[in-house]
């Protein structure tokens, strides 16, 4: 079982417009509302791909009631922690003309100390039974970097692989806590490490204690670096897909969580782990790209299997520019 933990969930509201013109009034078709937040999107992808998954999150207020009802109707196994504050909302406006998506994310209500304790205790209890745990998204007031680090360290100490997808100080805290994998993007790497080179930024997170960094680099694809192995794995789809990119990173996290559940020593410098990282790079890139083709975050296009065949995967050794195919002898 893969457990996803979403400390700051949201009711995702999505509208598609023919062309977004700031300051103008737009007439649109009915929007869509679904239980969201990064961890919920990860759970949706894994559930749809046949993985045993359990989504843990909080819910509160009238928005939380709508959030919970949609989650029930989705069929995704879940556990909800009741909280006093209202579940936040996230608004995505997809411009069909240029494929760009504008997002408005509410910050979310603070969690009370007893609510933080309940979320952390439940995550640890369920996480100890899991094959992998994915902790995803922004952190609400009350559940900050210190609480995240304590949860990550406890799960790692229990022998459970943990992937963390967050930003800000939480990213560094998760690295110091020994997270099995981190999934930053290039801007998060630059902001948190102060390094412009993504490879150097990823290595900085490994130096803090993380075991694996899977960095999404936008049009440049995806890069995987390991604490135990030199060099990096690079993957890129050789064409650009246009659509709703809000769930692309979450689809990649779903692929990482599934890979960790299958290969807990994914960061190892062994032939099996090297091939597993190459397969992960290919799949995470394809899943991320296919998510862009779907109108709502948390879904993969049926084309994701075919897209895997298009992905270019190469490895580079430290200080070497020459690529090789890490799957050639898999």
Does residue 250 have an active-site annotation? yes
**Block residue for tokens 């007439």:** 27
Among 29, 131, 165, 250, the one annotated catalytic: 250
**Block residue for tokens 């897909």:** 241
Contact 3, 126 (CB under 8 A): yes
Contact 26, 20 (CB under 8 A): yes
CA–CA separation, 242 and 237 (whole Å)? 13
Cβ-based burial of 246 (10 A; exposed 0-12, middle 13-18, buried ≥19): buried
Report helix, strand or coil for 286: helix
The closest alpha carbon to 137, from 167, 179, 107, 102, belongs to: 167
CA–CA separation, 245 and 222 (whole Å)? 15
Cβ-based burial of 73 (10 A; exposed 0-12, middle 13-18, buried ≥19): exposed
Two tokens at 201? 């930024």
Q: 278-301 in b/e burial notation, b at 16+ Cβ within 10 A?
A: bbbbbbbbbbbbbbbbbebbbbbb
Report helix, strand or coil for 117: helix
CA–CA separation, 240 and 219 (whole Å)? 7
Catalytic residues, by residue number, are 250
């Amino acid at each position: 079982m893969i457990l996803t933990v979403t400390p700051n969930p949201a009711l995702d509201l999505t509208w598609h417009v023919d062309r977004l013109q700031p300051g103008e009034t737009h007439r649109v078709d009915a929007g869509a509302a679904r239980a969201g937040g990064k961890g919920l999107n990860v759970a949706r992808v894994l559930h749809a791909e046949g993985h045993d998954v359990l989504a843990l999150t909080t819910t509160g207020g009238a928005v939380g009631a709508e959030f919970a009802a949609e989650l029930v109707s989705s069929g995704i196994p879940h556990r909800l922690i009741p909280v006093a504050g209202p579940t936040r909302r996230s608004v995505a406006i997809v411009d069909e003309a240029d494929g760009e998506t504008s997002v408005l994310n509410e910050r979310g209500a603070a969690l009370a100390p007893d609510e933080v304790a309940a979320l952390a205790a439940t995550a640890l209890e369920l996480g100890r039974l899991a094959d992998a745990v994915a902790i995803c998204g922004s952190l609400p007031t009350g559940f900050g970097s210190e609480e995240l680090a304590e949860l990550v360290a406890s799960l790692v100490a229990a022998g459970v692989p943990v992937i963390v997808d967050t930003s800000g100080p939480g990213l560094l805290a998760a690295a110091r806590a020994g997270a099995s994998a981190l999934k930053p993007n290039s801007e998060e790497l630059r902001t948190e490490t102060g390094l412009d080179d993504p490879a150097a930024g990823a290595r900085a997170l490994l130096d803090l204690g993380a075991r694996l960094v899977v960095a999404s680099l936008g049009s440049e694809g995806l890069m995987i670096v390991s604490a135990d192995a030199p060099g990096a794995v690079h993957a890129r789809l050789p064409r650009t897909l246009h659509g709703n990119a809000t769930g692309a990173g979450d689809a990649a996290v779903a692929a990482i969580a599934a890979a960790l559940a299958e290969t807990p020593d994914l960061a190892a410098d062994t032939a099996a782990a090297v091939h597993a990282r190459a397969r992960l790079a290919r799949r995470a890139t394809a899943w991320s790209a296919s998510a862009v083709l779907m109108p709502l975050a948390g879904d993969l296009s049926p084309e994701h299997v075919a897209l895997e065949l298009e992905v270019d995967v190469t490895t580079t050794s430290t200080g070497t520019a020459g690529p090789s195919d890490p799957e050639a002898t898999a």
